[in-house]
Amino acid sequence: MTSPTTGETTAPQSTGRAGAGGTLVRDIPWFRRYGSAARRAPRLRLVCFPHAGGNAQLFHGWAVRLPADVELLAVRYPGRQERLAEPCVEDMDTLADAVTGALLPHLDRPLALFGHSMGSSVAYETALRLESRHGVVPRRLMVSARSAPHRARPTGLHLRADDDLVAGVRRLGDLGSEAYDVPELRELLLPALRADYRLIENYRPARPPRRVRTPITAYLGRSDPGCDPDAVAAWSELSTADFALRTYPGDHFYLAPREAELVADITKDLEM
């Protein structure tokens, strides 16, 4: 079915459990599918992973910018939006295992993975599982605003008081952070934000880091205070295939104001 307000299409999927309610949650708990009916038999599926505290809505404008034969599946982490009643996932293995399992019904088409910030590491761990457990090599792993896992430096934000946690996020840039100023919204949003920071700051990749066979493209805002460009470029060490680095004006959340340019570049990268 197609939502009259978002143009979102849904299809049944058996993996995962229901969230807070609503047809969309019961049908496809792990993904929000954006796009037109033309994408029901896509050439390729682009799976997008949000940042810490983020949700699938981050990618709602991408579908109209992608080729008509590319379907977008935005990952919906538990503990927010329609899955608000579900507990947040606080460790990487559990989250990556669950997303990988949820992708199994979608392996009839080639996949590409895009992650922003925390989502980059989740996408990487998902790519590793797809390759090692299912023999599926994604077309491309695309990582945004995140140091390579073996070069990341935890900040300890998840251990700090609520105001300090919010301030730490705002230091990176502003993407909807005004919601934390509304007491009712703050109460709903903070648990997911803290859980995500706990997940990513306690995440320890394998030593030595495991390499994927899929090519990697990294994307970075040039004024991102949370990323060392050299540490982002170190994603090149995690692939046995090719690597590319693209930079854009902007901070940690450059992808919002630069959406058109970024999606155009992603489209090109999918053809490489």
d(CA 133, CA 127): 10
Residue 26: half-sphere exposure toward Cβ, Cα within 13 Å: 3
Positive or negative: CA dihedral 75, 80, 83, 85: positive
Torsions phi, psi of 261, nearest 5?
A: -65, -45
Token pair, residue 32, equals: 């929000």
Q: Which amino acid, residue 189? A: L
In sequence order, what DSSP letters do the residues of 199-221 get, joined into one string?
Answer: HHHH----SSPPPBSS-EEEEEE
The single residue of 14, 36, 117, 121 carrying the catalytic annotation is: 117
Phi first, then psi: give them for residue 206, nearest 5 degrees. Answer: -60, 150
Is residue 14 flagged as an active site residue? Answer: no
Residue type at position 145: A
Q: What are phi and psi of 231, to 5 degrees?
A: -70, -30
Q: Are 49 and 113 in contact (CB under 8 A)?
A: yes
* Cα separation, 24 vs 133, whole angstroms: 29
Give the residue among 149, 238, 128, 162 at the shortest CA–CA distance from 199: 149
Catalytic residue numbers?
Answer: 117
